[in-house]
Amino acid sequence: MTRSALPRPAVLGLILAGGAVGTTGRYLLETAFAPPAGHWPWVTFVINVTGAFLLGGLLFGLGRSGEDTGARRGLRLGAGTGLLGGFTTYSTFTLEVHGLFGGGQLWTGLGYAAGSVLTGVAAAAGGALLARWLVPVQRPEAGR
């Protein structure tokens, strides 16, 4: 088991700060662009797909650039777990699907549920492919 080069309070601080920024950004977007009841929740959809794309790219790129230590680990935890974890919202997604079903919008709810999951997976794969193209593989130094 590898220990982080960062002390636990620093790691938790990175996650907390990233989560606060991500959650605030999501809240502001969802408040500014709230859809009418019974309509496709576009803001949450775009937030989750964008977050999946960025997280796929971040994690794949960090994996290609070297070991999960030091600054790379801090970036993964602060930006990945914190920022993007706070920005994306599968709890809101679930409530929106439930609301669509409960409001009699069965086909919209099914389309939103399936479309969100499938598009999110495709976006994560797209982010990973972009990182593969942009980030060269870091080879370990000889003798290490």
With pLDDT > 90 as the criterion, what percentage of the chain qualifies?
80
**44-60 CB burial, b ≥16 within 10 A, e <16:** bbebbbbbbbbbbbbbb
| Per-residue model confidence (pLDDT) at position 8 | 81
3-state secondary structure (DSSP) of residue 38:
coil
| Per-residue model confidence (pLDDT) at position 11 | 87
Residue 73 reports pLDDT greater than 80: yes
Mean pLDDT (the chain) is 91
pTM, entire model: 0.87
| Per-residue model confidence (pLDDT) at position 5 | 57
CB distance 50 to 118 below 8 Å: no
- 9 confidence band (pLDDT: 50, 70, 90): confident
